[in-house]
Amino acid sequence: MPDTDRLARLYTAIEHASQEREPTFRERPEEERRAYMREAKRISRAKAKAAADIGRIEANAETIRDALADAALVLLASGAPGADAVEKLLGIAFSGRPGVPGTVRAKARVGAIKPKLLTAEVLRAHAMSQTALVILDRAPDVPPEPGDEINF
pLDDT in tens, 104-126: 999 999 989 999 888 888 887 77
What does the radius of gyration of the chain's CA atoms come to, in whole angstroms? 27
Name the residue among 85, 83, 78 with its Cα closest to residue 134.
Answer: 78
**pLDDT for the residue 152:** 44
Residue 130 has pLDDT above 70, yes or no: no
Which three-class secondary structure state does DSSP give residue 134?
strand
State the pTM of this model: 0.58
pLDDT in tens, 86-104: 999 999 999 999 999 999 9
The answer to whether the CB of 123 falls within 8 A of the CB of 129 is no
CA dihedral angle for residue 85, residue 90, residue 96, residue 99, rounded to 10 degrees: -90
Higher pLDDT pick, 136 / 110: 110
User: What does the mean pLDDT of the chain come to?
Assistant: 82
Question: What is the maximum alpha-carbon separation in the chain?
Answer: 90
Percent of the chain past pLDDT 90, that is, above it, reads 39
